[in-house]
Amino acid sequence: MIPNINTEIVPNYAKLLASNFDSVQECYACVIPEQLVQRLEQGQKFAREMHEGQGTAFEFGGEIFQIWCGGSQGHRWVFENDDLQFHIRTEKPMFNISVRYKSAGLWEHGVDALRARVKRLLLSEIRPLQEDWHTLTRIDYAFDFYSPDFSQEMLSTMVAENMVLTSGVKAEMVFTSKRIETLTIGMNRKGLQVQVYDKGKEILEASGKTWMFEVYEQEGYYPPDNMKAQHIWRVEVRFGKEFLKDRNIRTFEDFRPKIKELLAEAIMRRRIVDQGDSIDSHKERWGLHPLWAAVYDASGRADDYVPVGRQITMKRDHYIEMMRKQMAGVGRSLSVAQTGHYSEETARDDARQSVYMAMSDYDHDRKVLKAVERQKYLEEAQ
């Protein structure tokens, strides 16, 4: 449940200029035909030999991309355009194609149009390996605000000092001699991360995404040219693969109806607070900082989180075989740890002892019910 704290917005503190998906990544299980493999190899070789490492034109699904002269970490081929980036790990049938929906495409076309386009492109070149052939691996959702007041606050470390984080979550800040420019809350990119940064500065000095100013104009933001990038702050919520899996969110279709609850969890469990008029010395009972209150309001103000409890989705016989192999491996390691080698007699004794330990656990019944819940989709897996 949402903590019982003040979440009211402060009028005129932060004006919302835009909010949208800023990056989405999905992975597809595909059967890649040999002729496509040959084209990928030829395109990559041409890029390497003829363009001194630059990408070269590559046709895929009737659209023109640029194929890289080499792969990326763990991926053999990469090709992209201004909207999409494809990473192909291997030609072997498996979850072998990762697609990143890029910021420019998401803001221009929207996530639904891009996802439909990707499926059309893939189906014109490959064959799905299985019915449930796509899975969600990462989502970044961004809120951009105009806030001179927040710019003033970032001249000191007060904002960074007033964070309330769940156990084990770490944060870092990037600052100059003048002010803090970036706060990153949560360092595990496979988990949940929230970053606050000077978006105007990032546009001008790093990304060059000046087209964002046209997005802001849709909300009536028409400053003088020399002020366009001033006082624009982004709060970006990044949902990693492990965070999503722990909430049984395996596809974008799972994510979409739960977006408000997921954003609420991110905002509340990695929050910046403000003491205000409170005399309470416990920061966890302070109300939301005005910027955080504005983000919570823009996210839809959900009053609950998505339950945690990952389910297993592989076929039952595959799962049973996997668990048996894990038991054999653990038994082998335990025997070696005790005797210095593998002792069949010791392994049999350890197996019997494990049954006794399970039955003697006072929490045994509850743990059995949790296992039942985790495995409830086994029969449905394809």
- Give Rg (Cα) of the chain: 25
User: What is the mean pLDDT of the segment spanning 205-232?
Assistant: 93
Percent of the chain with pLDDT over 70: 95
pLDDT score for 350: 86
Whether the predicted pLDDT of 354 surpasses 50: yes
Whether the predicted pLDDT of 377 surpasses 70: no
pLDDT score for 299: 97
Whether the predicted pLDDT of 381 surpasses 50: no
Looking only at the bridges linking them, the beta strands covering 77-80 and 171-175 are: unpaired
pLDDT score for 382: 35
Whether the predicted pLDDT of 105 surpasses 80: yes
Whether the predicted pLDDT of 36 surpasses 70: yes
pLDDT score for 52: 67
pLDDT digits (tens, 9 = 90+) for 112-137: 999 999 999 999 999 999 999 999 99
Matching residue, tokens 């399970």: 358
pLDDT score for 369: 73
pLDDT score for 378: 61
Contact of 293 with 10, CB cutoff 8 Å: yes
The model's confidence at residue 90, banded by pLDDT at 50, 70 and 90, is: very high
More confident residue, 41 or 334: 41
Whether the predicted pLDDT of 372 surpasses 90: no
Whether the predicted pLDDT of 312 surpasses 90: no
63-72, 232-241, 354-363 — which is least confidently predicted? 354-363
User: What is the mean pLDDT of the segment spanning 329-341?
Assistant: 87
pLDDT score for 113: 97
User: What is the mean pLDDT of the segment spanning 213-226?
Assistant: 93
Q: Dihedral angle at the C-alpha atoms of 324, 327, 333, 338, nearest 10 degrees?
A: -140
Whether the predicted pLDDT of 17 surpasses 90: yes
Average pLDDT of the chain is: 91
pLDDT score for 361: 83
How many alpha carbons fall within 13 Å on the CB side of residue 179?
13
The model's confidence at residue 310, banded by pLDDT at 50, 70 and 90, is: low
User: What is the mean pLDDT of the segment spanning 214-241?
Assistant: 94
Whether the predicted pLDDT of 355 surpasses 90: no
